[in-house]
Amino acid sequence: MTAADRKLLESFGRALATQKLRLVYQPKVSLKDGRLTRVEALVRWDDPELGPVSPSRFVPLAEQHGLIDPLTEWGLRTTLKQWRKWREQGLETRLAFNISAVSLQSLDFPDLVERMCRAVGVPTDRLVLELTEGATQPLVRLMDTLTRFRIKGMGLAIDDFGTGYSSLLQLRQLPFTEVKIDRCFVKDLPSAHDSRLIVRTIVDLAHGLGLVATAEGIETIEQLRCVRELGCDVVQGFLVAPPLDPDDLIGWDREFKKLWPALLSDESLELWGDVEADTLRQR
Ligand code: C2E
Ligand code: MG
Ligand code: MG
């Protein structure tokens, strides 16, 4: 481990132990009607010395040095409690939560997650676990744990699909309920012919297997319309909303319902252009 990583790990361990981490929530909306279908919890860490540190930097360190289970448990408990608060305020949605493949090695983990849901009063079918395949951790090896989650009613999404080692075979072999198409395929839409072909193929395959197809990283109206045409069910990205503080979700939901028709109609494009620019500035 480099000296910089060691320092980062120590600071992260302190932040976790002293509750200095927080969660933000990014909406995912249905392409059928623009309604909020779920929110993805994303961890944030603002270190007083280092400034904001990306989860892509500290999650792998936590995985390698025994801190991933406490991070997952803290995050999941916080997210479940937040769901209760939203529901009390009249917002009914599902939660998407990123789970490291490292945590899935324990066969007891699904029981723990179920107990946490029960303790907070969240039905298990409100929770979708997002999994990413790591280079050393083919998800197929985790079949038993994944099956236990499904039996208990949780949804399972394969995240960043189409990158790294994720293979088509896994979609058939493992009990997923949702595929999240990685944003690298969305980035060059609508013009890139090969990206269109890939997205369409993943969507068709997902539908053939009875899975929800979600497109990640939607930043422009053209991308949104294109993935809608290609048959995607759900979108997530800065165009729809950046990751939000929990108290901002209900207000966002109210405004987005009004703005949704503008996303699909050419007349209102100009109006949306301003909103889009604002959203991007805020992120
Ligand atoms: P992910 O699960 O694929 O999350 C999506 C990432 O894309 C998030 O980055 C989000 O802020 C970013 N994003 C969303 N919309 C757009 C867009 O339109 N354009 C672009 N360029 N980016 C967009 P973030 O929050 O930095 O998270 C990075 C990764 O870290 C996540 O990828 C996930 O794998 C991991 N992660 C985040 N929070 C947690 C957590 O609580 N636990 C675990 N185990 N992993 C987490
Ligand atoms: Mg995710
Ligand atoms: Mg992703």
pLDDT band, residue 13 (cuts 50/70/90) = very high
What are the φ/ψ torsions at residue 69 (nearest 5 degrees)? -65, -45
Q: What residues contact 275, with CB distance under 8 A and at least 6 apart?
A: 259
Q: How far is the CA of 182 from the centre of ligand 2 (A)?
A: 10
DSSP helix/strand/coil, 282: helix
Q: What is the pLDDT of residues 110-154, one digit of tens each?
A: 999 999 999 999 999 999 999 987 655 677 778 899 999 999 999
CB atoms within 10 A of CB 233: 21
Ligand 1 atom with the smallest distance to the CA of 24 is 25
Dump the DSSP string for 113-165: HHHHHHHHT--GGGEEEEE--BTTB-GGGGHHHHHHHHHTT-EEEEEEETSTT
Q: What is the pLDDT of residues 147-168, one digit of tens each?
A: 999 999 999 999 999 886 667 7
Cα–Cα distance for residue pair 62/192, rounded to 1 Å: 37
Q: How far is CA 218 from the centre of its chain?
A: 13
Ligand 1 atom with the smallest distance to the CA of 72 is 42
Could you state, in order of their start, the residue ranges of all structural domains in the chain? 21-282
Ligand 1 atom with the smallest distance to the CA of 239 is 18
Q: What is the pLDDT of residues 222-242, one digit of tens each?
A: 999 999 999 999 999 999 999
Ligand 1 pocket: which of 42, 46, 282 to mutate (most atoms within 8 A of CB): 42
Nearest to 252 by CA among 4, 36, 20, 46: 36
Estimate the crossing angle of helix 269-282 against helix 221-229, to 10 degrees. 110
| pLDDT at site 279 | 57
Written out in words, the top-level CATH class of the domain with range 21-282 is: alpha beta
